Amino acid sequence: MRVITLCGSSKFKEQFEQANAFLTLQGNIVISVAFFEQSEGIEITEDQAELLGNLHFRKIDMSDEIFVIDVDGYKGSSTRREIQYAKEKGKAIRYYSHGEIP
């Protein structure tokens, strides 16, 4: 059993849900984003965005790997920072765009 944190733009809510179900049914513990502010149109302040980013780094710390939701190869600045952080921490990294989800 592995602990996997999902990373990617919150505009990809459907793909996050697919990845969560797929990885959970493989017997993994999946950690996701708190909510989908972009796809749900929720406005957050700059301080809240920074808080969410720091919380996501802690989620990565707790994980064995990250699974990057990069629909059509899209990776925003927050996702790129999370990937870099995971690399620095020696975490395994898998990508949605590499055909992991059927």
E strand spans, 1-102: 3-8, 29-31, 65-69, 92-95
Q: Crossing angle of helices 77-88/46-62, nearest 10°?
A: 30
Has this prediction a pTM greater than 0.85?
Answer: yes
Q: What is the pLDDT of residue 98?
A: 65
With 70 as the cut, is the pLDDT of residue 100 above it?
no
65-99 pLDDT, tens per residue? 999 999 988 899 999 999 999 999 999 999 988 66
CA distances from 65 to 30, 38, 48, 91, 92 (A): 10, 24, 25, 5, 4
17-73 pLDDT, tens per residue? 999 999 999 999 999 998 886 667 778 889 998 998 999 999 999 999 999 999 988
Nearest residue to 16 (alpha-carbon basis) of 42, 35, 41: 35
Domain locations along the chain: 77-102
Q: What is the pLDDT of residue 39?
A: 64
Q: Give the whole-angstrom CA distance, residue 8 versus residue 13.
A: 10
